[in-house]
Amino acid sequence: MSDLFATLKEKVSGQQIKIVFPEGLDERILTAVNRLSGEGILQPILVGNQQEITNKATELNLTLDGVEIYDPQNYPEMDELVAAFVERRKGKATEEDARKILLDENYFGTMLVHLGKAHGLVSGAAHSTADTVRPALQIIKTKEGIKKTSGVFIMVRGDEKYVFADCAINIAPDSQDLAEIAIASAQTARMFDIDPRVAMLSFSTKGSAKSPETEKVANAVEIAKELDSSVVLDGEFQFDAAFVPSVAEKKAPDSVIKGDANVFVFPSLEAGNIGYKIAQRLGNFEAVGPILQGLNKPVNDLSRGCNAEDVYKLALITAAQA
């Protein structure tokens, strides 16, 4: 296990952090939960039918000591969840609607987080990103000053650690979105002991090309500086000007970023998604995430192609965010 996760493990162990896993019957989830619980790192909550989950764990030769199992079909505190959901949706759901909706394991799990019965949620092994993110946006909602959630990857190779954003959620962010993503990504970086130096990326460096696309990024830089002037941040940069000191010296000699950026904000989802996959496949970086940021409480989305190790790692990240 990389130093990154060893550090996270140290950070969260013994904190009694409860993480809810709505996909209680998934083999990968059960395997990861068995390990998390066995190592005493956090307290897992599985959602589903108690008997079915217990049978599945027995079949897989896994113990669920110290794991709580909540079944939405007969959860003793369901009335409290229903009332809180109706209040949270402010007229968009009746009590009858709420009782139906909260039988969905993702909605049920997200309400546990909202009410403080769990500190965070990990889902997506068997659900789409939308199935995981929609309840979070409706119930937990984004932090004050942030309109949209975004998804970052921590790119790890040996001792190297970088943050790439947004590679998962916003297809065509505007200047305000990019600025919010930049500030949220700086906060995420600190959580992983990265002292953030943020580069806003484009195909132009400091006005070397002029187009609506480059101006969008230049405007985002100004907005981000207003949102949080303490963050070391600049742009617009081509990647080499943000990353290679000798190129930075030629292309952006007056910038606070001297070819030493470690947080990279991509101008669109296609650029971010392509960028992180190139680093992962050609550069042999491990891509950890996507980590969702900007929400009031942590909810994270697994890839449906994940394995038990991915579940374990994302649970550690979610606990660290909590």
Q: DSSP string spanning 18-32?
A: EEEES-TT-HHHHHH
* pTM exceeds 0.85 for this model: yes
As beta bridge partners, residue 69 has 46
Q: How many angstroms separate the first and last alpha carbons of the chain? A: 21
Q: DSSP string spanning 111-139?
A: HHHHTTSSSEEEE-SSS-HHHHHHHIIII
CA neighbours within 13 Å on the CB side: how many for 1?
12
Residue 1 has pLDDT above 70, yes or no: no
What whole-number distance in Å separates Cα of residue 247 and Cα of residue 254?
12
- Determine whether domain 3-141+296-321 maps to CATH 3.40.50.10950: yes
Tokens 């995430």 correspond to what residue?
Answer: 289
Strand order in the sheet with 197-201: 232-237, 197-201, 263-265, 160-165, 150-157, 286-293
Give, in order, the Cα–Cα distances in Å from 252 to each of 163, 234, 237, 241: 21, 10, 8, 7
Encode pLDDT of 123-133 as tens digits.
998 998 889 99
As beta bridge partners, residue 162 has 155
Tokens 């943000």 correspond to what residue?
Answer: 242
- Token pair listed for 280: 């992962």
What is the third-level CATH fold of 150-287? Rossmann fold (3.40.50)
In the DSSP assignment, the letter for residue 44 is: E
pLDDT band, very low/low/confident/very high, at 303 (cuts 50, 70, 90): confident
Taking alpha carbons only, the member of 239, 242, 231, 141 closest to residue 183 is: 231
What whole-number distance in Å separates Cα of residue 261 and Cα of residue 264?
7
Where do the domains of the chain lie?
A: 3-141+296-321, 150-287
Taking alpha carbons only, the member of 94, 90, 128, 131 closest to residue 109 is: 131
pLDDT band, very low/low/confident/very high, at 108 (cuts 50, 70, 90): very high
CB 113 within 8 A of CB 119: yes
With residues binned 3-state (H G I as helix, E B as strand, rest as coil), the percentages for the chain, rounded to 5, are 45, 20, 35
Residue 74 has pLDDT above 60, yes or no: yes
Same fold, 3-141+296-321 and 150-287: yes
Average pLDDT of the residues in 10-21 = 91
Encode pLDDT of 186-199 as tens digits.
999 998 889 999 99
Which residues are within 8 A (CB) of 68 and not within 5 positions of it... i.e. 6 or more apart? Answer: 18, 43, 44, 45, 46
Encode pLDDT of 184-241 as tens digits.
999 999 988 899 999 999 999 999 999 999 999 999 999 999 999 999 999 999 999 9
